[in-house]
Amino acid sequence: MIFLDAAATTPVRREVIEAMFPFLTNQFGNPSSHHELGEIAAAALTRAREQCATALGAHADELTFTSGGTEADNLAVKGLALARRAGDPRLNRVLISAVEHPAVAESADYLRRVHGFEVELVPVDGDGLVDPDVFAAMLAGPSGSGTASSDGADGDVAGGDVAGGNVAGSDVAVASIMYANNEVGTVQDLTALSAAAAGAGVPLHSDAVQAAGWLPLDVRALGVTALSLSGHKIGAPKGVGLLYVKGGSLYEPLIHGGGQERGNRSGTENVAFAVALATALVTAEAVRPSAVERVTELRENFIRRILADIPAAQLTGHRTRRLPNVASFCFPGTSGESVLLELERRNIVCSSGSACAAGSDEPSAVLSAMGIERTVAQTALRFSFGPDVTAEALETAATELAAAVARMLRLG
């Protein structure tokens, strides 16, 4: 089987299993316990947090381990919005891009439904890109009353200092724009977007779940206030994630209890999975430069070949500002789901849109936001590669894809 669905999930790396194994067996202590077993677990948790902090250029006490990318996104969006509005009731707007993962989009919708926030979608162009100037104008407010600008912003005024409120009169409590899109791979100009948010004194959260392992994750260089990661996209198990929130930024916890994770996320810590995530992140960062170079070239060859061999093929997402490991297309005249099944018959595994949206007949909200017509959007397929993908596998996949699409077009 040729697995081209790494954006959905990845296998757990051997070194990750080895690193976490002791904490599932002999070293099974609770980090809160005041005896040696507990202290060993607490030390492992501290080390895992420090390793993640180093990988992100963050301080260890700015990181919270979560149950995955979904929880990290929920905690960032809801936690920042609720805390900031509690400090200043004027902060009643939430901005998210029109192409967010449901973990962000549904969190914002919850804030609207249950807490009365106004939620606005920052539009994207046909490639899935947010224009930083459009974002800056929206941060300034519907009336354009603020002075936010995407240039000339001082990164150190970065939003998120809840106590300080917004510097430019913006009424936005939090903004969330993903680093790289999970369906089409488009990579946003996150530093420009962060500068715009900082200019308005608004904390910017970014979902970096798909970026990990492929794009630089230094949070200070990116200028974000908050950033989410998920373990299972980079060789850790499903069910572990991480949220960075810049020091000094208050956010409301979603899970209350014994005060673990500095009160940000109660519940006995999953030491083994924290160790797994840290090991996966360190490994992914170590291999990133070579993986990016190799896989980008393979992706380019794959895209070129598909566009040359399949006349119906349309690339979705930005031609160059895209994740090294994602190639996504529409094949008008087919159905994404039937080509996917035909490919599976030929031992090629990919995804029709995102895994989370799969199984629904609704066209992808991401493709719709990019202006892709409904009938075309229903023909979308995403091929996403792990760092170990080979040229031979992609050659085979390209040949089988051309045959599968031709068959589907013949069958009508």
Q: Which residues bind ligand PLP (CB under 6 A)?
A: 68-70, 73, 101, 103, 178, 182, 207, 209-210, 230, 232, 241, 355-356
Rounded CA separation 389/384 (Å): 10
Q: In angstroms, what is the minimal distance from the CB of 240 to ligand PLP?
A: 8
Q: In angstroms, what is the minimal distance from the CB of 236 to ligand PLP?
A: 10
Going by C-alpha positions, the residue among 316, 407, 308, 389 that lies closest to residue 354 is 316
Q: Residues 263, 84: contact at Cβ < 8 Å?
A: no
Q: What DSSP letter does each residue of 5-24 carry, written as one string?
A: BTTT--PPPHHHHHHHHHHH
Q: What is the dihedral of CA 148, 154, 155, 158, to 10 degrees?
A: -50
Closest to ligand PLP by CB, 88 or 109: 109
Q: Active-site residues: which are they? A: 356
Closest to ligand PLP by CB, 185 or 199: 185
Rounded CA separation 130/125 (Å): 7
- Find where tokens 């996403």 sit: 384
Closest to ligand PLP by CB, 128 or 146: 128
Q: In angstroms, what is the minimal distance from the CB of 280 to ligand PLP?
A: 12
Closest to ligand PLP by CB, 194 or 210: 210
Q: In angstroms, what is the minimal distance from the CB of 181 to ligand PLP?
A: 7
Which contiguous run of DSSP H or E holds residue 353? none
Q: What type of residue is 215?
A: L
Rounded CA separation 90/173 (Å): 9
Closest to ligand PLP by CB, 168 or 380: 380
Going by C-alpha positions, the residue among 177, 254, 173, 180 that lies closest to residue 214 is 180
Q: In angstroms, what is the minimal distance from the CB of 76 to ligand PLP?
A: 11
Rounded CA separation 204/80 (Å): 10
